[in-house]
Chain A
């Protein structure tokens, strides 16, 4: 007769058990990583780290600005111990809020100076290069522009695609803004808005270039490289064009890692970062499917078309990339 009670008990047990596990009540405390990097990459690093140190890790995955904004909202009350992003503007945002703990020099010194902020509050750990993918049936490499700025010219009308809503593209805009100034950036954004088709996601851009919907698309190198490595489903009719000569289009975007000041597991968090930038962690990254460039000079990524040393990125200070100004500018131009 009285079914309601057992049902309620069963339900609450079913609900509470996973929550308790997540809170770490079963088992020791876990190192909580707010992770905006590709989930699959962390799924290769984390087990190696856990094996080596015995520290258990919990990943909470999201997107760059989603997580950075969440960290800002949570402030001191955050569960997060470590924050990892795909691009640096989200790191700068959390840094500006004063939420990072300064990193010890033995972590910082591993990474070349240009890929980490002067403040020492976080560090880059991998990097990705901007590229122009082009459909090899529709356009010759010789017809491609020398500068990413040229894509705003009327001759590119209807031939271009990109994904302005993602943090990836916004980091590129931040670099253009830093290098060319506000006026030129606004004009450039207006031009490519006029010329281009907007998609949501770099994979979508890649697929549309490969299928010939667009002739060229602005993405990062690893989207194309990964698809090629997996069999070329959406990259077999396309190739990559690397901009050179410190062009804004040769921008290399840095994925950042930092320890939260509010963390109650700072030692473990630092151990994780040490592992992440150390040779072992960087080699795992280099060997993984990620195909992003490790930033520890001792490790080389050799399964891609362009080695890291061949890139000619413009000199951009990672802490100068201003995500707020970029969002304002892109809102003004009408992308957001």
Chain B
């Protein structure tokens, strides 16, 4: 081995000029137009498809053409930048398309039965030939079941998360976290079966003259089983995000730990906790299977969540969508639209409430 090291000339890093050649502003739209025209020519020329295929091929041609044009004029780094930007924007469009499609379908089909009758009547005594009938009972059911489930799970879930983050040490806290993780993966039907077996068939007969107690409350329990892990995990993540110096700042003022958590940590984490709770509520409101299993559905208005069958909006959609009556699909669409609107309104209201607690800048 020679001991003489030869200095290879280093590739120049320093630019000689700060100016760079740029594609004109109209280049990207021009490439897009050319790509679409070319794609249309290919597709219709060969007679192999319709407008959808033109857009797909056009998009691919656009990416290739943009890269080629930018590579020729602006250089390789800029070409890669432009291509990746275009790819990321396309990904965004692809992700939003189904959402827009769902909203559009819901609104266009759901408005047909969007009338006072739908929100004021139940399905009681509505036959296959009756165009009327509404989801009043289902709306009551959803509100009561989700409301009760929220009342149960939110305090429990937040307290559980506080235990895990602020107090839990060692194996017990680890075990709780593990089981919360396991609970996250419980299919809704299993939660429904659990409540059916445990509550409806075993516990509730004790104070129900021995009859199984199908009820909205049982549905709320099943929904609560589904909501709890979401509330715990999102609250836990939010509490962990609260900086330790804030807690120490409160401790240093002689504030006890529980008061620090209540007055400093929780308010700081509140907006995130609200988001997590709303996610849980949205999930619970859309569940069909547990409600079908333990609340049984039902066509009549039942305000009492603790007695007799109740329906819910999701269950109503399921039943109407499978109904033979030709008026049923319209009811299903309107109920679906109502459900989405309900969750949206709740989310917006919760966000506004959480924001009101923060100070204006």
User: Is the A/B pair a real complex?
Assistant: no
